Structure 1
Amino acid sequence: MEFTDIAMEISRESWQASFRHPFVLQLQKGNLDPSIFRYYLIQDAYYLNAFSKAYDILAEKTSNPEMKRLLKQNAQSLVEGELFIRQQFFKELKINDEEMERQPIAPTCYHYVSHIYRQFEEANLAIAFASLLPCPWLYHDIGKSLNLKPSPNPLYQQWIETYITDELEQQIREEGVLVNQLYRESDETDKKKMLDAFHISVHMEAKFWEMAYQHQTWKSDLQSLEKGEE
């Protein structure tokens, strides 16, 4: 079996959790609390900035010409496309630098970014590449699913349409071909690490919605831990 088939099989529960989360369901219905969407955008800005840099870092590290090409292409597309649209959302919602400073990176966002950057320590860069794949792939799938019944909220529908472009579909297809090749060329130990890196990223994607839905902060995260100990 190919990497993409195995990875999807072991990550199916976490993958589907994103589609079932109230954030995603209410986004489609148009009744997601605007404050939740606002908080999501702020945290996603932190994540996307780190994600774009991860593309660049990995592109500099790899000697694989196809990986280098895809990573540089993806980094540029992210800056020109998704990050630009985020700025449009920020402008419309009047999210400024002061508000960003008042809401530092949340625990889940921090842990997700840390997970991705941890993979750069592995000698086999295919492991880091595998950790980056769930983000565009999952969002494209969610976008296609939600667009079957467009959101009545124009802002939320604009967000959905960000992820259903032909360019993104082509990116995911090309990344899938490459990651399958890298998987075949890896030894059994690294194959498992690739699958683990992918699976953790899918899990963190599911937790990202909950982070935004609960307006997670370091204080609230600590309080939830303390309640668990009672």
Structure 2
Amino acid sequence: MTAPDYGRAFALWRQGAAAPWQAYTRHAFVEGLKDGTLPRESFLHYLVQDYVFLVHFSRAWALAVTKSRTLDEMKAAAATVNALVNHEMQLHVTTCAEAGIPEDALFTATERPENLAYTRYVLDAGHSGDLADLLAALAPCVLGYGEIGTRLAAERAPDTPYGDWIETYGGAEYQDLCRDTGAMIDAALARRIGPEFAAAPRWPELQAQFTRATVLEVGFWDMGMTP
């Protein structure tokens, strides 16, 4: 399946992180969502941890507002915060509530080390660098879930119990967010490192940040497999 078009920077980063990207987007956890074989216990464990992850991820996107140089950058970052806090996290709340897990238990859940490592890595990239550094660390999650959702929407088993998850990330609203995010990344990088991304002196560093975040995504799926 052809990768979705989420912009030039994403295409280059994805290519530069080919092996971990494959491990991330084709992980056994992902395939279990697709065919319905993922144990429910593992899915609920993942949702609880992912809710905590999204709390910190939302803070990282809020940090992107303060790192922005233009109103368009601010609007794009703020729109992502809104999507995370008011839409994506609601999927977790609804699904967990049906399993008897209230929202206050999600917010106060103890972070697993894999979760802690990933979220703090992203926040550190933003605090210690500029918007380009932060976006390189943020991109694997936002755009990776978009790619996974697109593929699973086309390949899913009709009876998978994880249809709501697949529809959330494979649906038009999330796909629009990914395309908008990809365009924002391209514009932000062009503004900071020039239009020829791969030729810029900073590119290897940004690629390394994207790749590291992708590896941490693989670790997050591994965590989800072991409640």
TM-score with structure 1 length normalisation? 0.84
The structural deviation recorded for 1:100 is: 4.8
Shift in Å at residue 170 of structure 1? Answer: 2.0
C-alpha distance 20-63 of structure 1, shift in aligned 2 (>3 A): closer
> Hey, what does 2:84 align to over in structure 1?
78
C-alpha distance in structure 2 between counterparts of 1:100 and 1:172, whole Å: 26
Match of residue 206 from structure 2: 194
Residue among 203, 206, 223 paired with 2:215? 203
Aligned to 1:95: 101
Q: Is the 8 A contact 1:127 1:190 kept in 2?
A: no
Structure 1 residues 161-210: Cα deviation after superposition (integer angstroms, max 9, x where no partner):
11012222222222222322333343444333322221111111121110
Q: Does 1:105 align with 2:117?
A: no
Describe the SS at the equivalent of 1:94: coil
Return closer, same or farther for 1:57/1:38 CA change in 2, 3 Å cut-off.
Answer: same
Aligned Cα root-mean-square deviation (Å):
2.3
Report the counterpart of residue 188 of structure 2 in structure 1: 182
Aligned ranges for residues 49-88 of structure 1 at < 5 Å?
Answer: 49-88=55-94
Q: CA deviation at 1:99?
A: 5.6
Q: Distance in 2 between matches of 1:158 and 1:24?
A: 14
Q: Distance in 1 between matches of 2:67 and 2:38?
A: 41
Distance 1:171 1:102 in 2: 28
Name which of structure 1's ranges 180-189 and 197-206 shifts more when overlaid on structure 2: 180-189
TM-score w.r.t. the length of structure 2 is: 0.85
1:36 Cα deviation (Å)?
Answer: 0.6
1:86–1:9 Cα change, 3 Å = same
Letter in 2 for 1:195: Q
2:4 corresponding residue in structure 1: none
Question: 1:21 corresponds to which residue?
Answer: 27
Q: 1:48 aligns with which of 35, 50, 54?
A: 54
The 2-side partners of 1:154 and 1:100 are apart by 24
**Larger Rg: 1 or 2?**
1
Residue 93 of structure 1 aligns with an amino acid whose one-letter code is A
Contact kept, 8 Å, 2:51 with 2:107, in 1: the verdict is no
Q: Which shifted more, 109-118 or 11-20?
A: 11-20
Q: CA deviation at 1:104?
A: 1.2
Q: Of 140, 159, 162, which residue of structure 1 is paired with 2:165? A: 159
Cα 1:83/1:98, change in 2 over 3 Å: closer
Structure 2 residue aligned with 1:128, among 128, 134, 148? 134
Query: Which residue number in structure 2 is paired with residue 227 of structure 1?
Result: none
Unaligned runs of 5+ in 1: 216-230
- Asked whether the equivalents of residues 97 and 103 of structure 2 are also in contact (C-alpha less than 8 Å), the reply is no
Greater than 3 Å deviation, 4+ residue runs:
96-103, 151-155, 184-190
Which segments of 5 or more consecutive residues in structure 2 lack a partner in the other structure? 1-6, 194-199
**What secondary structure does 1:78 align onto?**
helix
Aligned residue type for 1:158? D
Q: Distance in 1 between matches of 2:172 and 2:136?
A: 22
Q: CA separation of 1:110/1:189 partners in 2, compared to 1, >3 Å: closer, same or farther?
A: farther
The whole-number CA distance in structure 2 between the counterparts of 1:21 and 1:192 is 26
